[in-house]
Amino acid sequence: MDIRFYNTLTHRVEPFTPIDAPNVYMYNCGPTVYDYAHIGNFRTFVFADVLRRFLELAGHKVHQVMNITDVGHMTDDQLADGGGEDKMAAAATRLKESKKDGRALVENPDDPYAVAEFFTTAFIDDAKRLNLKIADEYPGQMPRATDHVEPSMIPMIRSLIEKDHAYVADDGAVYFSVQSFPEYGKLSGNSLDHLKGGAGGRVQDSHQTHKRHPADFLLWKPDASHLMKWDSPWGEGYPGWHIECSAMARALLQRDTIDIHTGGEDNIFPHHECEIAQTCGATGHDRFANFWLHSRFLLVEGEKMSKSKGNFHTVRDVLEGKVTGRPVDPAVLRFELLKGHYRSNINFTAKGLADSASAVDRLRTAERAVSASSIHVSMRTIDNIDAEYSVINEFKAALSEDLNISGALGVLFSWLKSNPTNLIEMHDILTITNEVLAILPGSDAYVIIKDNTGTHVGSVDQDIKMKCKALDDARVAKDYDKSDAIRKEIESAGYEVKTTKKGTVASKRLA
Ligand code: AMP
Ligand code: ZN
């Protein structure tokens, strides 16, 4: 299937071909865990999730890494060279103040690890409620920047110094030398000439004293008094924000050039520009990611929703009804965050949520009609199903054109409007479109069906999925007689049953 994406690097919509198909290696900049992630952040994370799910539906095997930033992100990091206070340290101060009002969110706000852990757990809970596959895949174990300082960031900084892409300045800090990397500015358009002129205020005079070029950015800051610090050849201190993603992408995806890198539009400069310089500087390759995809902001009253502006709604506030006055179903919030094209702003409104609620309702009504019946859908490969249903073909075709979600939803909802009555058709279309939308229950990939080459081609047997869930429930309830009996039932339907971190997975090879 031909897929095209808009690539920020080339400013064009381009055919997407993975380096090592069917594998796709993708890195998503994750949350900075100094506060709850807001629904603007989740607009960007849901976009990455839809992208992953669509690639899987198109037959790719996606290796996805999303990091947790728990160190080094400064309050002035929108400037090329950082500055200000560490966001984790700022969080400690804020949390202590909130404790004064009698609200002790975190037991010991002076411990930045405790603060990070608290908000990481909150992030994973929210991500699960919004059905992000990555949160299901690594429950509680998404990669933390603090675990990668010694094994990956310090070695990368050392190699950048060896290759003359970085230097130790008079103040003892290590900076990346942007003049050593002629491609600097290619992603964002902020060439060095432009940056000398101030880049719209994003290169700050006050930080220039020890640097060779105003746009040189921090890799390591020696500071023995910092709350989070590590030993390094440049003294005890902490890493800059940008190095973490370069180092973690390389270490965790285990390659120098990856297929896709994503983030919100504010990540383009300086963060992603700096990541490219670091990774390409260290590896010597001319590409870090072949495709750079960026989502536009979610707005409130026409302004970017942001933690620093304080105009933000958390996922839990929305779900608990603190924003609209009535509780919101997680599936409705997910739909609201995914229904707009990722390269357009979305404006968060109560009216939008109400529209999403009725869309989710239409999907659920159709799904209820299917699950109330006792049809048993025989196994087919997704490709066979595509050939049968123009709705699925058109849904996929829309998404393959730079994730045209409105086109894809248009196809699905016009079909629903035609009041379909064929239960098998309804089952197939709802199940397969739900692989991407993940709005209906049972969307977890409990059943893996492999074709004769061993490729994962999809999960379509609702009945087996329900049995896998029942098996998990019985195991949680420690009713092992029941779980054994269910396991036998699944096996007798021709499946191999495995217990994984995600829960029970049943797989079957198609002849
Ligand atoms: P942060 O937690 O600040 O590191 O941000 C996590 C991700 O959310 C980054 O990819 C940001 O670009 C993205 N982001 C921040 N604010 C918004 C917003 N209002 N709308 C969409 N994405 C956002
Ligand atoms: Zn990043």
Identify the DSSP state of 288: S
CA distance 197 to 207: 15
> What is the CA(31)–ligand 1 centre distance, in A?
7
The residue written with tokens 């849904």 in the block is: 395
Instruction: Tell whether ligand 1 has an atom less than 6 A from the beta carbon of residue 467.
Output: no
Instruction: Tell whether ligand 1 has an atom less than 6 A from the beta carbon of residue 266.
Output: yes
The residue written with tokens 């504010």 in the block is: 266
Query: 486: Cβ–Cβ under 8 A, 6 or more apart, which residues?
Result: 467, 470, 471, 474
Nearest CA to ligand 1 atom 18: 40
Instruction: Tell whether ligand 1 has an atom less than 6 A from the beta carbon of residue 263.
Output: yes
What kind and span of H or E run contains 106?
Answer: none
Identify the CA nearest to 213 among candidates 282, 246, 245, 166: 166
Question: Pairing between strand 4-7 and 12-15?
Answer: antiparallel
Instruction: Tell whether ligand 1 has an atom less than 6 A from the beta carbon of residue 29.
Output: yes
Per residue in 320-365, pLDDT (tens digit) is 999 989 899 999 999 999 999 999 999 999 999 999 999 999 999 9
The residue written with tokens 């073909």 in the block is: 393
Phi/psi of residue 280, each to 5°?
-65, -35
Query: 363: Cβ–Cβ under 8 A, 6 or more apart, which residues?
Result: 416, 430, 434, 437, 439, 440
For the chain, the structural domain boundaries read 26-295, 324-437, 444-508
Instruction: Tell whether ligand 1 has an atom less than 6 A from the beta carbon of residue 304.
Output: yes
Instruction: Tell whether ligand 1 has an atom less than 6 A from the beta carbon of residue 120.
Output: no
Q: Is-contact 443 131, C-beta < 8 A? A: yes
Nearest CA to ligand 1 atom 9: 264
> What is the CA(74)–ligand 2 centre distance, in A?
13
Instruction: Tell whether ligand 1 has an atom less than 6 A from the beta carbon of residue 187.
Output: no
Residue 96's pLDDT is what?
A: 74
Nearest CA to ligand 1 atom 7: 41
Q: Largest Cα–Cα distance of the chain, in whole Å?
A: 75
**Closest listed ligand to the CA of 298:** 1
CA distance 511 to 508: 9
Q: Is-contact 68 142, C-beta < 8 A? A: yes
Instruction: Tell whether ligand 1 has an atom less than 6 A from the beta carbon of residue 28.
Output: no
DSSP SS3 for 123: helix
Rounded to two decimals, what is the model's pTM? 0.85
Q: Which CATH class, in words, describes the domain spanning 26-295?
A: alpha beta
Identify the CA nearest to 242 among candidates 175, 167, 164, 168: 175
Instruction: Tell whether ligand 1 has an atom less than 6 A from the beta carbon of residue 89.
Output: no
Radius of gyration of the chain (CA): 24
Give the residue, out of 41, 49, 134, with the most ligand 1 atoms within 8 A of its beta carbon, to mutate for a pocket test. Answer: 41
Nearest CA to ligand 1 atom 14: 41
Per residue in 470-507, pLDDT (tens digit) is 888 898 889 999 999 999 999 998 888 888 665 677 87
SS (H, E, C) 321-374: CCCCCCCCCHHHHHHHHHCCCCCCCEECCHHHHHHHHHHHHHHHHHHHHHHHCC
Q: How far, CA to CA in Å, does 157 sit from each of 21, 72, 212, 221, 224?
A: 31, 14, 17, 12, 19
CA distance 136 to 309: 31
DSSP SS3 for 29: coil
Q: Is-contact 165 177, C-beta < 8 A? A: yes
Instruction: Tell whether ligand 1 has an atom less than 6 A from the beta carbon of residue 40.
Output: yes
**Closest listed ligand to the CA of 35:** 1
> What is the CA(219)–ligand 2 centre distance, in A?
14
pLDDT tens sequence for the chain (511 residues): 899 999 999 999 999 999 999 999 999 999 999 889 999 999 999 999 999 999 998 989 899 999 999 986 666 666 555 566 777 777 877 777 766 566 677 878 888 888 899 999 999 999 999 999 998 778 788 999 999 999 999 999 999 999 999 999 999 999 999 999 999 999 999 888 777 544 444 455 445 568 999 999 999 999 998 888 999 999 999 999 999 999 999 999 999 999 999 999 999 999 999 999 999 999 999 999 999 999 999 998 788 998 778 789 999 999 999 998 989 999 999 999 999 999 999 999 999 999 999 999 999 999 888 776 654 444 444 555 556 789 999 999 999 999 999 999 999 999 999 999 887 788 789 988 999 999 997 534 345 565 555 555 454 566 777 788 888 889 888 999 999 999 999 999 888 888 866 567 787 766 5
DSSP SS3 for 88: helix
> What would the two tokens of residue 240 be?
């800059």
DSSP SS3 for 500: strand
Q: Is-contact 413 394, C-beta < 8 A? A: no
> What is the CA(401)–ligand 2 centre distance, in A?
26
Instruction: Tell whether ligand 1 has an atom less than 6 A from the beta carbon of residue 165.
Output: no
CA distance 505 to 498: 5
Instruction: Tell whether ligand 1 has an atom less than 6 A from the beta carbon of residue 41.
Output: yes
CA distance 429 to 436: 12
Q: Which residues of 332-345 are buried (b: 16+ CB within 10 A; e: fewer)?
A: bbbbbbbbbbbeee
CA distance 37 to 313: 9
**Closest listed ligand to the CA of 39:** 1
Instruction: Tell whether ligand 1 has an atom less than 6 A from the beta carbon of residue 8.
Output: no
Q: Which atom of ligand 1 is nearest to the CA of 267?
A: 12
